[in-house]
Structures are given as structure tokens and as C-alpha cells.
């Protein structure tokens, strides 16, 4: 272990939900690392510390005995790498309230997938006021697979490429594999877009169990996401990192995906407000933000027919029986430019 790695002994995780617990547990299995989860849920901290099980989120999984949890935020004071594993709608306010606890040399890694405030990505929001190195880590990941020790991939995104060797060494010997990009903006935007298009694929699959149709729409959706990501300032190469093709495909095609599940519910006619309140809808929330951005830049609807059609589903009285036909008619005339 090199001298740089020795300086990164203390790892903090904000949030002891599924993804925070899973990543913390993977790192806690390594010698020489002190991994601590901060949570506001006293019963979760007690469960992890006393019986080494997160009974709320992973009741059937034995966690590493060296993994610690606490409701005392001061445990994060000495952490030199901090993973932010709380919902996207909470991160910016959390850092505004507690960000002074982190030292200026700390590496803060956003795991959440969603917008921050004022139509900005979370990392953009944090860079405006938070000391430390602001990074992102996104990829085709279900937390239950990470905690079950299945090989899992993330893209680590940072404007400072010298940080990647530190993260690569941190995860060496775990079940987590990394690739790297300096395109933080594109990585963040892709993590939002994949949720949007997973809803679309869910609606399509609810109407037709057709592999041909599924991959027709999936191909056009992937291309549309690329164009939006480029318009919002990302790099095309990011589409082919884990945060791009991998995360897009996993979220759109696997029934463990919450946003795909939302699409299936909508397509089957079960979408009502009481359901939407119970599902984490990163995609639904993001649709209006993306549309506002596209309209602000005078983008014509014909350039992005899929997301505009989904926007109608969420914002108008809409007959879902025509959703697929509308998409196909618009895609047919919207040939690639």
C-alpha cells in the first residue's frame, strides 16, 4: 500500500440505507480501513453495531463486524473520503447544514442520482459552497447485489484525474470495479436520464411483451439520451462508460429498477398519486426539469420525441393506449440527423 493510500484510512458514508450499507460493507472487509456509516435512524445504527445486520434494509445479510454506524455526525470529522448515500433531494441541504465538518482535503463522492437545486446537478450545487474535492460515482448497480458480493461496476467521475488511482486502490480486492472519466457533468446527467427512459421502456413493456419493439424503443431512447446529455454539456464518450450504456440498460430492462417498475404500473393503468408517493421517482421528477432546459434552449420537440411524449403522460390527461403508437409515428419521421 503506497503512502497516498495510507493517508486514506478513515472512510465515511453519509446514509445507512441500501447503497450506503452495501458500499460500506464492501470496504469494511479490507484490512486497514475504518469505515463508519452516519445515519439518523437510531434503530439502524443499533442493529449494525450490535448484531452486524441492517435489519431495516438487509435483514438477511450478515455484515462485516468491523463496519460501524452512528447517529453522531462527528464521526465524519476525520474521514478523508466521504460517500454521500442519501436521497438526491436531501444532499445539498445536508451539506449546507453540516458541510463544515469535513476538512478541505476531503474527497466527497456523490452516489445519488438526481438534480440538486435550480436545475443544476448535485455536484454543481456542491461546488458552489462546499470545500473539498467534489466527485461522483455512478454505474449499473443494485445495492442488494453489492452486499451479496456480486461483481459490480461504477464510473468514478472527477475533474482531478489524480484521484482515480486512490479510488482504484481503495476498492482493490473488493467486488467493486471502476472506470474513470473527467466528465462529471455528463456522468451526473446520464444518471438522471436513465431513470426517465426506464419509465418509457416500462410503459412499452406493459403494453407489448415484444423483444423487437423493446429494443427498437431502447435504441432510439439511448440515442435521444445521448443528444440531451451533449446539449447539457456532457461528453459523448461517457455514453460508453459504466455510467452510460451499463446503467442505462440495467435500469431500463431489469424489474428491480424502481423507475422501470413505475413505467410498468403506468402502462397497466395503476398509476395514481398514492402510488407515486410510495415510489422513489427520480425519473418522474427529472422529466419536467429536462423539458424546461430543452425549451429554454429553443429546442424543437421533434428532436426529442420520446421525452416530450413522457412529459405529456405526467402533465396532461393522456390516453395511455396510444402511447406506443405515438412514439412509433414520431420516431418514424424523426430520422437520424
For residues 283 and 220, give the distance between their C-alpha atoms in angstroms, rounded to a whole number: 18
Mean pLDDT lowest for which of 36-40, 150-154, 214-218, 293-297? 293-297
Q: Residue 336 pLDDT more than 90?
A: no
The 3-class SS string of 218-233 reads HHHHHHHHHHHHHHCC
Q: Residue 210 pLDDT more than 80?
A: yes
Give the gyration radius of the chain's Cα atoms: 20
For the chain, list the strands marked E by DSSP: 10-14, 34-38, 68-70, 81-84, 107-110, 133-138, 152-157, 176-181
Q: What is the mean pLDDT of the chain?
A: 90
For residues 308 and 291, give the distance between their C-alpha atoms in angstroms, rounded to a whole number: 7
Residues 177-199 have pLDDT tens digits of: 999 999 999 999 999 999 999 99
Of the pLDDT bands very low, low, confident and very high (cuts 50, 70, 90), residue 116 is confident
Would you give the DSSP letter of residue 132?
S
**Which pLDDT score is estimated for 117?**
82
The proportion of the chain whose per-residue pLDDT surpasses 70, expressed as a percent, equals 91
For residues 292 and 290, give the distance between their C-alpha atoms in angstroms, rounded to a whole number: 5
Q: Is the pTM of this model over 0.75?
A: yes
**272 SS3 class:** coil
Residues 286-327 have pLDDT tens digits of: 898 899 888 876 667 788 999 999 999 988 888 999 999 999
Domains of the chain: 3-182 (3.40.50.720), 186-333 (1.10.1040.10)
Q: Residue 283 pLDDT more than 70?
A: no
H or E segment to which residue 216 belongs: helix 211-231
Q: Residue 237 pLDDT more than 70?
A: yes
Query: What is the sign, positive or negative, of the torsion defined by CA atoms of 308, 314, 318, 323?
Result: positive
Of the pLDDT bands very low, low, confident and very high (cuts 50, 70, 90), residue 334 is low
Amino acid at each position: 500500500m503506497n503512502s497516498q493510500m495510507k493517508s486514506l484510512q478513515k472512510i465515511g458514508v453519509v446514509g445507512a440505507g441500501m447503497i450506503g450499507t452495501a458500499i460500506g460493507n464492501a470496504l469494511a472487509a479490507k484490512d486497514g480501513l475504518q469505515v463508519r456509516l452516519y445515519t439518523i435512524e437510531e434503530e439502524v445504527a443499533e442493529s449494525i453495531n450490535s448484531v452486524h445486520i441492517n435489519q431495516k434494509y438487509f435483514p438477511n445479510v450478515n455484515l462485516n463486524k468491523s463496519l460501524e454506524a452512528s447517529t453522531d455526525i462527528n464521526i465524519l470529522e476525520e474521514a478523508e473520503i466521504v460517500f454521500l448515500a442519501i436521497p438526491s433531494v436531501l444532499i445539498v441541504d445536508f451539506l449546507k447544514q453540516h458541510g463544515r465538518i469535513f476538512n478541505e482535503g476531503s474527497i466527497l463522492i456523490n452516489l445519488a442520482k438526481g438534480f440538486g437545486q435550480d436545475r443544476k446537478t448535485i455536484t454543481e450545487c456542491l461546488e458552489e459552497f462546499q470545500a473539498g474535492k467534489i466527485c461522483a460515482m455512478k454505474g449499473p448497480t443494485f445495492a442488494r447485489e453489492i452486499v451479496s458480493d456480486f461483481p459490480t461496476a461504477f464510473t468514478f467521475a472527477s475533474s482531478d484525474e489524480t484521484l482515480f488511482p486512490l479510488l482504484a486502490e481503495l476498492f482493490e480486492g473488493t467486488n467493486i470495479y471502476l472506470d474513470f472519466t473527467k466528465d462529471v457533468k455528463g456522468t451526473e446527467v446520464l444518471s438522471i436520464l436513465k431513470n426517465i427512459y426506464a419509465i418509457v421502456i416500462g410503459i412499452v413493456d406493459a403494453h407489448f411483451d415484444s423483444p423487437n419493439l423493446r429494443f427498437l424503443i431502447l435504441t432510439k431512447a439511448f440515442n435521444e439520451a445521448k443528444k440531451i446529455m451533449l446539449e447539457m454539456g456532457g461528453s459523448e464518450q461517457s455514453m460508453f462508460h459504466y455510467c452510460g450504456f451499463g446503467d442505462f440498460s440495467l435500469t431500463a430492462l431489469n424489474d428491480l429498477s424502481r423507475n422501470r417498475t413505475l413505467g410498468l404500473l403506468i402502462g397497466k393503468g395503476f398509476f395514481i398519486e398514492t402510488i407515486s408517493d410510495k415510489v422513489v421517482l427520480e425519473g418522474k421528477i427529472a422529466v419536467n426539469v429536462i423539458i424546461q432546459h430543452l425549451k429554454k434552449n429553443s429546442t424543437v420537440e421533434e428532436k426529442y420525441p420520446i421525452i416530450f411524449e413522457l412529459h405529456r403522460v405526467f402533465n396532461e390527461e393522456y390516453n395511455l393506449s396510444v402511447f406506443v403508437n405515438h412514439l412509433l409515428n414520431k420516431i418514424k419521421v424523426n430520422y437520424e440527423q
